[in-house]
Structure 1
Amino acid sequence: MHSSDLTQRNIDAIAELFPTVVTETVDTEGNPVRAVDFDALRQELSDHLVEGPQERYQLDWPGKRAAAFAANAPIAKTLRPVREESVDFDTTKNLFIEGDNLDALKLLQESYLGKVKLIYIDPPYNTGNDFVYEDDFAESSADYLARSAQRSNTGDRLVANMEANGRFHSDWLSMMYSRLKLARSLLTDDGVMIVAIDDHEHANLRSMLDQVIGPDNFLASVVWQGSGKNDARFTSGGIDYMLIYARTKSKLIEADVRFKAPKRGYEDVMAAAQRCWAESGGDSVRATELLRAWWRSKPDVEPGLAAYSDIDADGKVFTRDNLRSPNPRENLMYDVPHPRTGQPVKRHPNGWVYAKARMQALIGEGRILFGDDHTTTPRLKRFLSDMSTQAIRPLVLQERAPASDALARLLGAKYFDYPKDTGVLATWINAATSDDKKAIVLDFFAGSGSTAHAVMNLNAADQGNRRFILVQLGEELDPGSLARKRGYATLADVARERLRRAGAQVKEQAGLLGFDLDVGFRSLHVATTNMADTFTTADDLVQFALAEAVASVKPDRTDEDLLFQVLLDWGLDLAEPVAVEEIGARRVLSVADDALIACFADEVTDAVVKEIASRHPLRAVFLDAGFASDAARINTEQIFREVSPGTEVRAI
């Protein structure tokens, strides 16, 4: 009986755009209500640090505002392709990006905004011994833009974060906050984010994710029990966690998304039942006796499977389930006649679990098991074959040693102490992407590359086409480490080698089914912009310097470098196929069957322009310096207006 609450509607709209600015307060009657943190909103809309702390319910730490600013500040950087580090560069849909993940996440915003189905990250744990990223962005947007464009060595971005540091927690939280804010925007509406963490920052990380993604989107806190220490003082430890959030939980509920996993021991029970059926000669009574005897040996399977101890005349394993409704409803209160006596059978006070039409259908299928007469309550015949999966368990029991040993065998040496188990990762990747086997999976703390390895294994298992994007800093390895002695300079080098070997192994094991498997990756490096620095003003230019000021592209950059910067600027998929050809003796790059044609030749003729326009590409791009004069560039635009008016033309 009231008009719409426009204030609340506006808060909802702001929450969708900026979930980190929505907090709690109390109304005039002391009831908790949602409200907007205007200081935080000002920061989201500002290009400089905003002061003005006020009391509110939220996780706070020194440097939080600077971290929020770091997420929003622009950078003058690009991604450079490196063919020699790649596998199947021309055909693969997978990406491996070497560089600072904060820069990488910013560069991916246009091309992959709202397109990533699953983000899994295993960030550095804040144990007092590891390194964190140093993000010192307490400066204006202009200052940051100038500075970031000139920093080419990303290795100096890691600093030790010892417990003696007064900002022990703050530095780690700041490092994570800016990256999580950027990562959220890459998720699809039904996307999921999984973050691995240990006890040191579990509570803080969950509070931060509540702010960044929203507490209503929390799905689970999974406990991963690995190997413990028997000489520990209180508990054996060995616990890690996975905090799981949905981009929009309501979207998952609307689509009836359910995280499922295979039941442990399901295949063992089915195999035992088949042996019992064969040994009994097709006698259901004898087969049931044999199966129940097998169950008494207590095999290691899910407890819920133990109820499936009967075998019917068709050799199917089943259990007898109850038919009572958990809650009484009028449409569930009806009589069911016994097939032999014709009298209504005994019914639970709550009624049946199924409506009358569904019950009649089950009776017709022989799925309702009646007693000798109407004085007993019938049971539901539930087949084991319909119960091969279960709701995924929030407890993982998996030692880390097998994963470490498997990776050591693959690489020929033990370079990593605690790599993630690809089987466990594949289980959760499958749970989040089972409805979309072409999903993009992102890991921007790639480490040894376990996430990509798990994606390849999963695709081989279910013939999926999931894609991965990995981001890993080119962190230099310790000079005394085994990997360094074996010729690897950085952690990214080792990860790429792992993907090469894992891809070959997965394809070999898949046999004929692995023919179409994508086990390649495009290697890209975060780098400064391709465009030359032109900070000299016109008044300061002298005659001999004019020639040097003409070139707009750095001398060490290739046409493929320029192409990938154009893909980023236009927001196109960085994994689109690229074809190299010649038109009028000029090298031309065609992306995705002429969705984009690029010609970065030093001299572009009208004949070349006309040939490109005749192919009617969606987009065409040239090097500005490639035109002999302004008139030549204007003439190019006129040619496209006449020959291919639908083409979007640019010059860089």
Structure 2
Amino acid sequence: MEKLRMTSPDLTASNVAKIAELFPGVITESVDAEGNAVSAVDFDLLRQELSDHVVEGPQERYQLDWPGKRAAWFAANAPIAKTLRPVRDESVDFDTTKNLFIEGDNLEGLKLLQESYLGRIKLIYIDPPYNTGNDFVYADTFAASRAEELRRSGQVTDDGVPLVSNTSANGRFHSDWLSMMFPRLKLARNLLADDGVLVVSIDENEHANLINLGTEVFGTDAYVGEIVLKNSSKNDQSYISMQHEYIVFFVKNKAANPGDWTERKAGLEKIYAAFEGFKKTHGTDWAAINAAAKQWYQGFTDSDPVSGSKHYNCMDERGVYFASDISGPNDGQYVYDLPHPSTGGICKMPASGWRYPEDEMTRRVAEGRVHFGPDHSSVPKNKTYLANTETQSLTSIRYVDGRAASKRLASLFGEKVFTNPKDELLLRDIYRAVGVSDGDVVLDMFSGSGSALHAVWELNLTSGNSAQFIGIQVAEELNETLKTAKGAAKQVTTNAIKFLASLGRPSTVAEIGKQRLLLASTKVRGQAPMMDTGFRVLKVDTTNMSDVLRTPDATEQQELAGLEDSVKPGRTAEDLLFQVLLDWGLEVTVPISIERIEGSEVFFVDDDALVACFSEDVTPEVVRALAKREPLRAVFRDSGFASDDARINAEQIFKELSPATDVKAI
């Protein structure tokens, strides 16, 4: 019976396999560190295959380089012996929800999701640590033997979370940030669907590096633009006071995502309501309504969304319109006399002629679709109705009051517990604009307070869709943050610690995110009881499998019995099930039911897509009952069979009753 791998995928081996598909002649054999034969790439032969497409040695080329890039490549590809353990008591609707909250290092989380969500994610939003000189960024290492050294040197927390302070005095100030981001973006790209979108919030410190890094990972034409977010009024910086941030967009494949991104203009309800009021006051005196509208628009600042439509200041029987240019696109396009409907005089013609031929213009005048001035001395205009132009392409400049998101979050918690949360309503609108819809998955690997996850529920609430989310957040300790926090941030962090203590919960950023989802779930469920407002909590942990590798000369007779079981003490059957789901590449949100068959606990996953029995005593009766269900896959605990004969017998039972079932053991 074949054994499951029970580690994250080896992405280097995967890349070798892809090269083998394209160029089978360049694959040879080598020996790994343990003396095992492995496939390897003969780069001399590969160079011949690519001939003049290889850039040699120091030859000049366009590239982004930094100290530590080679190690970042390794960090992205190296497999890890970790798993995701389910936490039912912290979840909501664990058995039915399609949403995930993963607590742990996001690089490890991304590695563990590689096979289950390969090419499945529609949108990845990230708000990574801004490289301000005070933030902590991840320092990735996979050398388990150095764990104690790293803890003593302060490079990891007592819980083993790898952190390093990247101050502006550090000579690798930008390099450390790039090394942290590079492997995460590489893994993120694997998860994105072909038409997927990466959306990144960033400030000026790493804005240029982010674009260069994104195009290196996603391709030279992946960068498609950015939104400049005006969200500050500070004026105390040297040289230039930065009052904005960026939201940068990359697409995985332009052919699959042509960029027909549109959004509904903001403030339309206010405009329509105002014009209805003008009509009640002035009736059909369109000139009076036009004057009232112009006066009304003056009451809005440039940052108010209503001001973006202030040119729509006219009205007729059809509705609100903008008197737009009616001139021809080319010089002398159409030239003829157009009489004014009131004076009968010939109207002044645009310098380049009319846009429409004479018969079409006559029809448009008859239908009331041409805006005339009080007499023929002014050039007529086209009527462009607001009802026909309610949508627009995503605009590159936004005014967003950052205090609004903070107030909404404080209202949810009852007090301010998080500094500068991202605006969940802005993110909701971005999701809608780029086409996140029914069944799509949104991933946030720096989920923080959970704004991007909450935004998915807000999208579903307003659109009727059922998009899903995956959030990943490391258990960053708030008490450590409190040591360096100042001013308002110190008070907010203190509030968060007290709030979590009152619930008996750990003082971490991940816990803030989970509590936000709990509160938002209750609120949204009150508005839409049938909507999926649950989330399944999983935690990154060491593998469920014990290290039982021993050499004969280093193993005593009395130790043999203790090495029979390959599962770590304290790990549950459900822990094992989730590691199997990851190893088999199944989504970890699949529905799971539990039955007792012949006295053994059996998991049935996604209508018999997988049956799993981790009983310590797997009887032939249990095996036969499961084989009769004819599942696609079946997995057992290897030590659950009384002998090798019992395990072989189980395989034979499946071959007889369900030959198509893929049977494996852990």
**TM-score when normalising by structure 2:** 0.79
More displaced, 373-382 or 120-129?
Answer: 373-382
User: Which position in structure 2 is the counterpart of 1:408?
Assistant: 410
Which of 90, 97, 100 is matched with 1:92 structurally? 97
Which of 553, 566, 573 is matched with 1:559 structurally? 573
1:170 Cα deviation from its structure 2 partner: 1.2
Which of 611, 615, 637 is matched with 2:651 structurally? 637
- For the residues of structure 1 that align with 2:62 and 2:248, how far apart are their CA atoms? 21
1:169 correspondence with 2:174: yes
Which of 312, 317, 321 is matched with 2:316 structurally? 312
User: Which position in structure 2 is the counterpart of 1:125?
Assistant: 130
Which of 270, 273, 277 is matched with 1:271 structurally? 273
- Shift of the 53–93 alpha-carbon distance from structure 1 to 2, 3 Å rule, reads farther
User: Which position in structure 1 is the counterpart of 2:39?
Assistant: none
User: Which position in structure 2 is the counterpart of 1:596?
Assistant: 610
- For the residues of structure 2 that align with 1:328 and 1:78, how far apart are their CA atoms? 69
- For the residues of structure 1 that align with 2:649 and 2:286, how far apart are their CA atoms? 85
1:599 Cα deviation from its structure 2 partner: 0.9
- For the residues of structure 2 that align with 1:360 and 1:648, how far apart are their CA atoms? 72
- For the residues of structure 2 that align with 1:569 and 1:153, how far apart are their CA atoms? 29
Give 3-state SS (helix, strand or coil) of 2:74's partner. helix
Give 3-state SS (helix, strand or coil) of 2:115's partner. helix
Give 3-state SS (helix, strand or coil) of 1:250's partner. coil
* Contact kept? 1:120, 1:442, Cα under 8 Å: yes
User: Which position in structure 1 is the counterpart of 2:497?
Assistant: 484
- For the residues of structure 2 that align with 1:364 and 1:591, how far apart are their CA atoms? 66
- For the residues of structure 2 that align with 1:116 and 1:456, how far apart are their CA atoms? 16
* Contact kept? 1:276, 1:287, Cα under 8 Å: no
Identity of aligned residues (%): 47
Q: Give the length in aligned residue pairs.
A: 585
- For the residues of structure 1 that align with 2:610 and 2:518, how far apart are their CA atoms? 30
Give 3-state SS (helix, strand or coil) of 1:526's partner. strand
- Shift of the 346–232 alpha-carbon distance from structure 1 to 2, 3 Å rule, reads closer
- For the residues of structure 2 that align with 1:161 and 1:493, how far apart are their CA atoms? 24
Structure 1, residues 220-244: CA drift from partner, whole Å, max 9, x if none?
1221222232344444323211211
User: Which position in structure 1 is the counterpart of 2:162?
Assistant: 157
- For the residues of structure 1 that align with 2:620 and 2:365, how far apart are their CA atoms? 77
Q: What code does the residue aligned with 1:296 have?
A: Q
1:144 Cα deviation from its structure 2 partner: 11
1:561 Cα deviation from its structure 2 partner: 0.7
- For the residues of structure 2 that align with 1:361 and 1:570, how far apart are their CA atoms? 69
Q: What code does the residue aligned with 1:83 have?
A: R
Structure 1, residues 163-212: CA drift from partner, whole Å, max 9, x if none?
22222211111011111111111111111111111111111121111211
* Contact kept? 1:131, 1:161, Cα under 8 Å: yes
Which of 511, 515, 525 is matched with 1:497 structurally? 515
1:548 correspondence with 2:579: no
Give 3-state SS (helix, strand or coil) of 1:215's partner. coil
User: Which position in structure 1 is the counterpart of 2:426?
Assistant: 424
* Contact kept? 1:99, 1:154, Cα under 8 Å: no
* Contact kept? 2:92, 2:536, Cα under 8 Å: yes
1:388 correspondence with 2:387: no
Q: What code does the residue aligned with 2:497 have?
A: R
1:624 correspondence with 2:638: yes
* Contact kept? 2:124, 2:198, Cα under 8 Å: yes
Where in structure 2 are the equivalents of 1:246-645 lying within 5 Å? 246-253=251-258, 257-280=259-282, 285-287=284-286, 289-297=288-296, 298-300=298-300, 301-303=305-307, 305-314=309-318, 316-322=319-325, 326=329, 366=367, 368-369=369-370, 380-434=382-436, 436-478=437-479, 481-482=493-494, 483-486=496-499, 487=501, 488-508=506-526, 510=527, 514-645=528-659
Structure 1, residues 478-499: CA drift from partner, whole Å, max 9, x if none?
1665233442332111211111
Structure 1, unaligned runs of 5 or more: 1-12, 18-37, 43-50
- Shift of the 622–334 alpha-carbon distance from structure 1 to 2, 3 Å rule, reads farther
User: Which position in structure 2 is the counterpart of 1:67?
Assistant: 72
Q: What code does the residue aligned with 2:322 have?
A: T
1:448 Cα deviation from its structure 2 partner: 1.2
Give 3-state SS (helix, strand or coil) of 1:560's partner. helix
- For the residues of structure 1 that align with 2:643 and 2:365, how far apart are their CA atoms? 83
- For the residues of structure 2 that align with 1:556 and 1:328, how far apart are their CA atoms? 82
Which of 246, 249, 259 is matched with 1:244 structurally? 249
- Shift of the 64–612 alpha-carbon distance from structure 1 to 2, 3 Å rule, reads same
- For the residues of structure 2 that align with 1:601 and 1:105, how far apart are their CA atoms? 30
Q: What code does the residue aligned with 2:443 have?
A: L
- For the residues of structure 1 that align with 2:378 and 2:99, how far apart are their CA atoms? 60
1:348 Cα deviation from its structure 2 partner: 8.9
- For the residues of structure 2 that align with 1:325 and 1:121, how far apart are their CA atoms? 46
* Contact kept? 1:95, 1:524, Cα under 8 Å: yes
Q: What code does the residue aligned with 1:650 have?
A: K
1:79 correspondence with 2:84: yes
1:111 correspondence with 2:113: no
- Shift of the 387–555 alpha-carbon distance from structure 1 to 2, 3 Å rule, reads same
- Shift of the 396–524 alpha-carbon distance from structure 1 to 2, 3 Å rule, reads same
- For the residues of structure 2 that align with 1:442 and 1:365, how far apart are their CA atoms? 54
Q: What code does the residue aligned with 2:473 have?
A: Q
- For the residues of structure 2 that align with 1:184 and 1:504, how far apart are their CA atoms? 33
User: Which position in structure 1 is the counterpart of 2:211?
Assistant: 206
Give 3-state SS (helix, strand or coil) of 2:511's partner. helix
- Shift of the 231–92 alpha-carbon distance from structure 1 to 2, 3 Å rule, reads same
User: Which position in structure 2 is the counterpart of 1:46?
Assistant: none
More displaced, 206-215 or 381-390?
Answer: 381-390
* Contact kept? 2:286, 2:315, Cα under 8 Å: yes
1:178 correspondence with 2:183: yes
Structure 2, unaligned runs of 5 or more: 1-17, 23-42, 48-55, 151-155, 483-492
Give 3-state SS (helix, strand or coil) of 1:194's partner. strand
Give 3-state SS (helix, strand or coil) of 1:588's partner. strand
* Contact kept? 1:367, 1:382, Cα under 8 Å: no
Give 3-state SS (helix, strand or coil) of 1:240's partner. strand
* Contact kept? 2:322, 2:383, Cα under 8 Å: yes
Structure 1, residues 43-62: CA drift from partner, whole Å, max 9, x if none?
xxxxxxxx976643212111
- For the residues of structure 2 that align with 1:244 and 1:554, how far apart are their CA atoms? 43
* Contact kept? 2:229, 2:244, Cα under 8 Å: yes
* Contact kept? 1:368, 1:379, Cα under 8 Å: no
Q: What code does the residue aligned with 1:648 have?
A: D
1:390 Cα deviation from its structure 2 partner: 1.9
* Contact kept? 2:225, 2:249, Cα under 8 Å: yes
1:642 Cα deviation from its structure 2 partner: 2.4
Structure 1, residues 370-411: CA drift from partner, whole Å, max 9, x if none?
989999998654321122222222122223223223222322
More displaced, 289-298 or 579-588?
Answer: 289-298
* Contact kept? 1:370, 1:379, Cα under 8 Å: yes
- Shift of the 240–306 alpha-carbon distance from structure 1 to 2, 3 Å rule, reads closer
Q: What code does the residue aligned with 1:447 have?
A: G
**TM-score when normalising by structure 1:** 0.80
Q: What code does the residue aligned with 1:499 have?
A: L
Q: What code does the residue aligned with 1:642 have?
A: E
* Contact kept? 2:334, 2:356, Cα under 8 Å: no
